[in-house]
Amino acid sequence: MLGQLLKPEYEELIHARNWDALRDAFADLEPPDVAELLETVSPQDSAVVFRLLPRDQAADTFEHLPLDRQTRLIEVMAEGQLGSLLEEMAPDDRTRLLEELPWRVTQRLLNTLSPEERRIAGALLGYPERSAGRYMTPEYVSFREDMTVAEALAHVRRHGKDRETLNVVYVVDRAGCPVLAVRLATLVLADPQARVMDLDHGMLVSIPATAPREDVVAAFEKYDREVLPVTDSRGALVGIITVDDVLDVQAEEATEDIHKLGGMEALEEPYLTADILTMVRKRGTWLALLLVGEMLTATAMAFFEHDIARAVVLTLFIPMIISSGGNSGSQATSLIIRALAVREVELPDWWRVCRREALSGLILGAFLGLIGFVRIAFWPTAAAVYGPHYRQVALVVALSLVGVVMFGTLAGSMLPFLLRRLKLDPATASAPFVATLVDVTGLLIYFTLASVILKGTLL
């Protein structure tokens, strides 16, 4: 955002290898801006530039780099530099780095940490992947119940250095369980002689460390907090999650859902830096599966080959009909998958959704059917292009549109529920997946209607 204007100048300094001037110029930049700069230069250059950064700015900058850049920097870093970098990193960001690296590298890195930091990293890595525990930091401030405001503020002053946030501190009981979330602002505004317990704090909301990260996002969205405490299985306070990480998780979740909806395995790296073969594999697997699914359309059509040979005109409308089914399915599945993701809709709502979609599908199908009928039956040269029985053909197309749109809408809306019920990811019901399902069914609907309506005329 800022510093954007100066970018070319920095790049020039790097290009000119003017390290002294660059070191001075970095003083004006924020870590996210330095990270942005590092991403634009070659990995070799970025390693040199990275070494110019003062120690604390280096750790902050490192946290803002994408994972692939982080691992490349690690490869070229000396053990000593690496150790001090990891020590300076925030525990939650460090956990994310360690869990993405191969296990042997992780082990080596853990060994460079001080015993205390190693203990923290080990504990955070102990929680399941994508659980709240992986996103928390143990750098919070807490104190026992019986303090005055003045004592609490003195405690914050004593223990508050280098904490992830001091905006909220926690009162814990004898068992270490959080009792109150106390805003620093509340302490500052309160009478110093008042007891902390007597102030107005609002309800304590906490997150179990094993909760999936979607639950973390949902809790932050619902309660509008900027930090929430994390508890272990005994209910004891073990860390805090700050909203900046939640913002990242929410974006990642949306990216994953969009990639899956598009009909591929979610890409975990940024598009431009993702390995092209990994990307091709994640797309190719699904394309191949969908192709195999689509082969059923050839089988279905082979079944009607004699009808097709007698009434070639029918083939003209095949793409139009099956794609309309696919489109309505794509709409329905996108709507429902997103509604499930943001918890506007839950599993027990399936029947309500089913009724809504049945009605929507009927209206939409009737609407498209009408357009299709008019387009064929009232085309100026209809008889010449579509043959003498063009009105019956138009009727077949119109009714087929009603059928496929209804089927597409219902399949697209119900499949996500079915997948959720089977404890699979609803987003697997991607638009292409639903479309493939609808294509096969759409052909069956079309040719069945044709053989009934055109019997005795065309067929």
CB of residue 83 to a second copy, shortest distance in Å: 24
CB of residue 103 to a second copy, shortest distance in Å: 28
Is 207 in a helix, a strand, or coil? strand
Radius of gyration of the CA atoms of the chain, in A? 30
Contact letters for a second copy, residues 304-323 (x by CB under 8 A): -x--xx--xx-xxxxxx-xx
CB of residue 244 to a second copy, shortest distance in Å: 4
292 near a second copy (CB under 8 A): yes
351 near a second copy (CB under 8 A): no
Contact letters for a second copy, residues 414-453 (x by CB under 8 A): ----------------xxx--xx--x---x----------
3-state SS, 227-268, equals: EEEEECCCCCEEEEEEHHHHHHHHHHHHHHHHHHHCCCCCCC
291 near a second copy (CB under 8 A): yes
302 near a second copy (CB under 8 A): yes
End-to-end CA distance of the chain: 67
Query: Pick from 22, 109, 171, 368: which binds a second copy (CB under 8 A)?
Result: 368
CB-CB neighbours of 281 under 10 Å:
13
352 near a second copy (CB under 8 A): yes
2 near a second copy (CB under 8 A): yes
Q: Report the phi/psi class of residue 343: left, alpha or beta, with left for phi > 0 and alpha for psi in -120 to 50.
A: left
336 near a second copy (CB under 8 A): yes
> Any residues with CB less than 8 A from the CB of 158 and at least 6 apart, and which?
none
**Of 109 and 147, which has the nearer Cβ to a second copy?**
147
**Of 46 and 413, which has the nearer Cβ to a second copy?**
413
Query: Pick from 70, 327, 400, 441: which binds a second copy (CB under 8 A)?
Result: 327
| Per-residue tokens: 441 | 């069914």
Find the binding residues for a second copy in span 258-287 (CB under 8 A). 258-259, 261-264, 267, 270-272, 276, 279-280, 283-284, 286-287
Number of residues that bind a second copy (CB under 8 A): 123
Find the binding residues for a second copy in span 173-232 (CB under 8 A). 183-185, 188-189, 202-203, 205, 215, 218-226
Query: Pick from 46, 334, 392, 428: which binds a second copy (CB under 8 A)?
Result: 334
Find the binding residues for a second copy in span 12-41 (CB under 8 A). 28-30, 32
CB of residue 184 to a second copy, shortest distance in Å: 6
CB of residue 263 to a second copy, shortest distance in Å: 5
**Of 142 and 360, which has the nearer Cβ to a second copy?**
360
**Of 160 and 235, which has the nearer Cβ to a second copy?**
160
Comparing C-alpha atoms, which of 24, 25, 20, 23 is closest to residue 9? 25
Is 195 in a helix, a strand, or coil? strand
**Of 48 and 279, which has the nearer Cβ to a second copy?**
279
| Per-residue tokens: 161 | 């250095």
| Per-residue tokens: 144 | 């026992």
Q: Burial of 380 by CB count in 10 Å (0-12 exposed, 13-18 middle, 19+ buried)?
A: exposed
Comparing C-alpha atoms, which of 69, 406, 66, 315 is closest to residue 49? 69
**Of 288 and 347, which has the nearer Cβ to a second copy?**
288
| Per-residue tokens: 120 | 């923290």
In 16-129, which residue ranges form alpha helices assigned H by DSSP?
19-26, 31-40, 43-52, 55-63, 67-76, 79-88, 91-100, 103-112, 115-125
User: How distant is the alpha carbon of residue 330 from its chain centre?
Assistant: 19
149 near a second copy (CB under 8 A): no
Contact letters for a second copy, residues 85-124 (x by CB under 8 A): ----------------------------------------
326 near a second copy (CB under 8 A): yes
In 262-388, which residue ranges form alpha helices assigned H by DSSP?
276-303, 305-310, 318-341, 350-377, 382-386
153 near a second copy (CB under 8 A): yes
Question: What is the identity of the amino acid at 367?
Answer: F
CB of residue 11 to a second copy, shortest distance in Å: 15
**Of 48 and 258, which has the nearer Cβ to a second copy?**
258
**Of 171 and 190, which has the nearer Cβ to a second copy?**
190
DSSP annotation string for 131-183 = BGGGG-BS---EEES--BHHHHHHHHHHH-TT-S--SEEEEE-TTS-EEEEEE
| Per-residue tokens: 205 | 């909301």
78 near a second copy (CB under 8 A): no
136 near a second copy (CB under 8 A): no
Dihedral pair phi/psi, residue 238, rounded to 5°: -120, -10
